[in-house]
Every structure is written in C-alpha cells, then in structure tokens.
Amino acid sequence: MNARPTQTSGAQTPLPHAVFSVRDVSPKERFGAWKESISCIFDVETEREARRRDFDAQVEASLLGDLMLARTTSLGQSWTRSASTIARDGMDHYMIQLFVEGGMEADHRHGNASIGDRSLVVFDLSQEVISQTSDFTNLSLIIPRQALARSLNRPDDQHMRSLRGDDPLVGLLFQHMLSLEKMRGAISIPQAQEISTATVALTAACLNGSASDDAGDQEGFETARIIGVKRLIEANLDDFDLNAARIAHMAGLSRTKLYSLFEPLGGVTAYLRERRLRRALSSLTAPRNRYKAISEIAATCGFANESAFSRAFRQRFDCSPSEMRRRDVGAPMTSHFETLKGRRYEHWLHHL
C-alpha cells in the first residue's frame, strides 16, 4: 500500500492575519489610537464632532505572498501623505484601493481626482497626496514597486488614477480583490505565493489596458521611448557624470527630444535627481545598510559628495540622511496603545 504523502507545514499554516479595531479602547482615546496606528502610512485628521460621536475605525489585513490585502472601515477624515511622511516610512509601493462604500476627493501634483463607490484608485506611495474621505469601507491591495513596475507600460504615471468598475479589465480586478478577501481564510501559504504572482499579472493587465489609457500609435511609440530612457537612467544612477547630455547621447536622442519627452515629469534633470534620492532613501532605510557610511550611499546613488547629497535630501524629504537613518520604522511600539491587538499590519506594510 502506498503511504499517503505528508502535507508540508506551509500547507497547514494559515495566512498571517491581523485585525486592528479602536473599539478596544475607551471612546475618548479612539481617534488618538487610530491616528497613531495609521500614521505608518498617512497622517490623518477629522472634525472634532466626529471624535465626540463614538469614533470608529478598523483594519483587517492579510499577507498574500509578497502582497498585502486590507479592508478598512472608518468615519470621514482627511488623509495626507507628505514628503516628510514618505521619508519617514521609506515606502515605495503601489496601493490599489477599491471603494466598496463611500468615496474620496484628492489633490496631487497632477491635479485632482474624485472617486466614488465601486471605483478603483491607484496610489503611488512614493508621491505626495492630500485627500478627504466620507464615511467609507475600502479594500486595499499593496504591491511593492519592484513586483509590479516592470510589467507596467507607464510605471511612473499611475498616481491617483481613478478607474471605473464598468471597464471589463477593471471589473476583473475588482472581483478578484473581493474574491481574495472572501477566500483568504482558506488559502495556504504555498497557494498564496502562486496567487500573488497571478494577482500582480492581473493588476498590470488592468492598469495597462483600461479604456482610460487608450492611446494612438504615436503616443504608444513615445511611451515606449520614454520607458527605454528611464531604464537607461536607472541602470546608470551611480554614474557621477550622468546628465542630460550623456543621457541623450546614450539613448540616441537629441537633447531637444529628450527635454520634450520628460517635460510632463518636470524635466529630465529633476527626474534624474528624484530617482537618485529615491534610491538613497531606500538604501538608508534598508537593514542591510545599517552600518554603511552615508558618504558611501551617496556615492552609489550618483552624488559627487556627501554635502551636496545632504542638501538635496533635506530639501526633498525635510530631514537629513542621518536623521532618516535614526528613524527605525521596524522598532517595537512603545506608546500606551502598544497593547492593542492587530497592529502587526503596520510592520507588514514596511517589510513587504
């Protein structure tokens, strides 16, 4: 008789799961508990009246391989992701948010967006935004940039895109997110790794092919061209001498054409500086670089000297590189709210 194969421990282990609710504290402390917890990604405020009327908020989160899925329910409030917040947490993720109930108004560097219920919105967490929500329930899918960006036609142009659920591809992603939430209690860790890969592929298909992004042949050609230049820049960020003239030469473009391509992004020089600073931010917050000299990090990100790097970093993130390094986002919680259950989702967000 053949022996039955034994299950791996991973097949028997449920997905990591956390539920954080402010109902675990007294009514007068609820908003404070929420504000402290959600500051891992947003700074929030709400009207005094909302704090008085039995404020409520809950996050239920699960890890699905390299992704995080979270349902959030709360009252109306304002949400800010500023340059200093971005520097503080070092997150470089996409967050695809489905509004099941309620909606959001947002202001960002490209304009404003209005998101109603049954709609999707894309956050690029490396960029700033100010938004206002009504009382709401939403479902968020958080994907690390490196997992998704390589599959996107326009990886840097996703911030605050609003996608309607009646688009077929958007509808598929919409239903997939709801299905993941419904079935997450039955999904094993090995299955989650496979689902993670499929979810990233479906997300890329949705963002690349939704009707709002239909483009003519010329626009598609220009998009392909700028993606090629961006990849070239990324591969040479540690080159001190990389500038607009060298980029144009390496890409086989005139400087006029290069400037035209990058004009919507604030110019090629601004784009190059932003990518260098983003890489430096990631390096400063990476545990493996805890003892690496700041001057060495500056050099690997294309800055000729530490002083120039420190000035540019402070101007962009409102703190110095050394101050950023001292902020340990993975440190244990020490506030009087630390006994609240479910706050593991904060750690997950920063360690996907």
SS3 annotation, 143-158? EEHHHHHHHCCCCCCC
Q: What pLDDT digit, counting tens, does each position of 100-132 carry?
A: 999 999 887 767 888 887 789 999 998 899 999
Q: What is the identity of the amino acid at 76?
A: G
Q: 169, 115 in Cβ contact below 8 A?
A: no
Q: Which helix (H) or strand (E) holds 218?
A: helix 217-235
Tokens of 50: 């909302």
Q: According to the model, what pLDDT value does residue 340 have?
A: 57
Pairing verdict, β 43-45 and 111-115: unpaired
What are the CB-based long-range contacts (under 8 Å, 24+) for 144-152? Answer: 144/66, 144/92, 144/93, 144/352, 145/92, 145/93, 145/94, 147/66, 147/67, 147/200, 148/94, 148/200, 148/203, 148/204, 149/94, 151/200, 151/201, 151/204, 151/208, 152/204, 152/207, 152/208
To the question of domain 14-214 being in CATH 2.60.120.10, the answer is yes
Query: Residue 136 carries which DSSP code?
Result: E
The CATH number corresponding to 217-326 among 1.10.10.60, 1.10.540.10, 2.60.40.10, 3.90.470.10 equals 1.10.10.60
Q: Which helix (H) or strand (E) holds 179?
A: helix 168-183
3-state secondary structure of 175: helix
b/e for 9-33, b at 16 or more Cβ within 10 A?
Answer: eeeeeebeebebbbeebeeeebbbb
Closest CA to 98 of 116, 114, 80, 81: 116
Tell me the pLDDT band of 221, cut-offs 50, 70 and 90: low
3-state secondary structure of 17: strand
Distance of CA 128 to the CA centre of its chain: 11
pTM for the whole structure: 0.72
Q: What are φ and ψ of residue 100, in 5° steps?
A: -75, -40
> What average pLDDT does the structure give for the chain?
84
Ranges for all domains in the chain classified under CATH 1.10.10.60: 217-326
**Residue 57 pLDDT greater than 50, yes or no:** yes
> What's the length of the chain?
352
Query: Residue 339 carries which DSSP code?
Result: T
With vertex at residue 8, the alpha carbon angle to CA 7 and CA 11, rounded to the nearest 5 degrees, is: 85
Find residue 61's DSSP bridge partners: 18, 70
Taking residues 19-41, what's their average pLDDT?
91
Ranges for all domains in the chain classified under CATH 2.60.120.10: 14-214
The number of helix segments (H) and strand segments (E) in the chain equals: 15, 12
Q: According to the model, what pLDDT value does residue 212 have?
A: 53
Three-state SS string over 43-111 comes to EEECCHHHHHCCCCEEEEEEEECCEEEEEEEECCEEEEECHHHHHHHCCCEEEEEEEEECCEEEEECCE
User: Could you please report the per-residue DSSP string of 300-326?
Assistant: HTT-SSHHHHHHHHHHHHSS-HHHHHH
Q: What pLDDT digit, counting tens, does each position of 288-329 carry?
A: 888 899 999 999 999 989 999 999 999 988 889 988 887 644
Q: What is the identity of the amino acid at 213?
A: D
Q: According to the model, what pLDDT value does residue 93 have?
A: 92
Count the neighbouring beta carbons within 10 Å of the beta carbon of residue 63: 22
